[in-house]
Amino acid sequence: MITIPTILTLIRLFLVVPLAGAILDQSWVIALLIFAIAVVTDLLDGYLARLFKQESFLGACLDPIADKLLIVTSYGALLCQSRSSFLPEWFFYLVLGKEALLVAGAMIFGLLQNRVTICATWAGKYAMVAQSVLIASIFIKEMVGIWHPIIGEILIWISTALVIVALGSYSSQLLFALVRKKEYGR
C-alpha cells in the first residue's frame, strides 16, 4: 500500500528533473518554487510517517534516494551554468563523493549481510538543512542580483563541515553494524 508520506517522497523524486530544467534555463523563481516544494515534502514525509505510524520499507528506501538526487542534481545543474561561479567544483565533488560512498557502502553491506538499516542522524539532517539553505540562497542571489561573496563562502564552509561530519556519522553507523553482525550474528 502506498501511503501519503511515500507519495510525498515520490513527488520530491519527480521534481528533480523540472528543477534541473529550471536551473539550466536560469528560471530562478521557478527553480526556487520547485525547490521549496521539494524541501517541504522532505520535512513532511518523515513527520507524517511517524505521526500516522505509516513508516514503510519503501519509504525508508526512497526518502534518502530522493534527498540525494535533489541535492546532487541541484549542484550539478548550477555548475553547468556559469552564473553561479562562486559554487566551487570541489564542493560538488565532495557532496557527490559522500553520497556515492554512502550508497555503495549501504549496498555492499546490504548484500553481504542480507539487509541493512541506516537510520538518519542529526548530522545528516543538519547537512541537508545547510545544503538546502545554500541552494535556496543561490537561487535568491540569482533572482535579485545582490550578493556579498562572504555569504556564499560561509554557507559553503558550513555545508562542507556538516557534509564531512555526516559522512563520518553514517560511516561509523555502517561499520558498527558490520562489527555487531560479525561478533553477535545480528
Q: Using the CB atoms, write b or e for 26-60: b if 16+ within 10 Å.
A: ebbebbbebbeebbebbebbbebbeeeebeeeebb
Give the three-state DSSP class for 157.
helix
pLDDT of 84 reads 55
* CATH number for position 35: 1.20.120.1760
Q: How many CA atoms lie within 13 A of 102 on its CB side?
A: 27
Q: How far apart are CA 91 and CA 34, in angstroms?
A: 23
Report the C-alpha gap between 39 and 150 in whole angstroms: 25
What's the CA gap between 117 and 57, in Å, rounded? Answer: 10
d(CA 123, CA 81): 30
pTM of the model: 0.89
Domain that holds residue 129: 4-184
Q: How many domains does the chain have?
A: 1
List per-residue pLDDT tens for the chain, 186 residues long: 789 999 999 999 999 999 999 999 999 999 999 999 999 999 999 899 999 999 888 888 899 899 999 999 999 999 998 655 678 999 999 999 999 998 887 777 776 666 656 678 899 999 999 999 999 999 999 999 888 889 989 999 999 999 999 999 988 887 887 777 666 665
The pLDDT of residue 186 is 54
Closest by CA to 59, choosing from 42, 39, 74, is 42
